[in-house]
Structure 1
């Protein structure tokens, strides 16, 4: 099945891939020159990843750290720019290393062209990595 091309549908599809722990499939939704940004990233974490390969390197081990179970809250807002959506979401699961619950809320601004993510600004809270048992940081992040 090919990926949807509308930004909202592409985002929904991407979340299903993450729930399925299909990180390679998720990476495949990116434009070669896509940019992923984390404006609220704490010190020691990247604020900007440029290119599909850098994004792949960053996300490759995600399922080894967070066992994502559900996206119980997902609200996608269309913008006046057809390629861009604003997403409010909550993700739940568990932290793999400790088994502790994982519960995080996000605001994401996503731009997609030709069925590929070109820009993904993820406004996640730094408190997510400060949850009890959230020792999933890597020194290269």
Structure 2
């Protein structure tokens, strides 16, 4: 499979893979040394994952926690650095363990080089994990 090279195209492709629950293919979008950061991570949660394997280990059980149904709002902003995009998005679905609704907004800053994700800073709302019934990746 030929991967999309434009950052916005690659990112949209990644969202499609997440909706398909194809975590292995999503992880394959990452550079071997890619870094995933969570600047607002609550205590006890990872703040930084270094390397594709660390991202794979973190995301492996994501579909067991969150059943994503849609990304009804995705707005991608191009920056002055062509390889870096800023994304505003909303993901909706359900939390598997509690069967509660999942509705999360995100801001992400993503850098893509040579068709691979090299940096992903995920600014998600850590207060959401404090809601009753919350069962997210990172709590295990």
TM (normalized to structure 2)? 0.96
Which ranges in structure 2 are unaligned for 5 or more consecutive residues? none
Which ranges in structure 1 are unaligned for 5 or more consecutive residues? none
Could you tell me whether the CA contact under 8 Å between 1:34 and 1:118 is conserved in 2?
yes
Report what 1:22 is aligned to. Answer: 22
TM-superposed CA distance for 1:29, in Å, is 0.2
Report what 1:82 is aligned to. Answer: 82
TM-superposed CA distance for 1:79, in Å, is 0.3
Report what 2:131 is aligned to. Answer: 131
Could you tell me whether the CA contact under 8 Å between 2:58 and 2:138 is conserved in 1?
no
Note the aligned Cα RMSD (angstroms): 1.2
Alignment of 1:49-68 (within 5 A): 49-68=49-68
Report what 2:120 is aligned to. Answer: 120
Report the count of equivalent residues: 140
Structure 1 residues 3 and 134, CA, compared in 2 at 3 Å: closer, same or farther?
A: same
**Deviating 4+ runs (over 2 angstroms):** 135-140
Per the alignment, in what secondary structure is the counterpart of residue 11 of structure 1? helix
Could you tell me whether the CA contact under 8 Å between 1:65 and 1:95 is conserved in 2?
yes
Structure 1 position 101 matched with structure 2 position 98? no
Q: Deviations over 1:17-39 (max 9, x none)?
A: 00000000000000000000000
Per the alignment, in what secondary structure is the counterpart of residue 123 of structure 1? strand
TM-superposed CA distance for 1:130, in Å, is 1.9
Could you tell me whether the CA contact under 8 Å between 2:61 and 2:137 is conserved in 1?
no
TM (normalized to structure 1)? 0.95
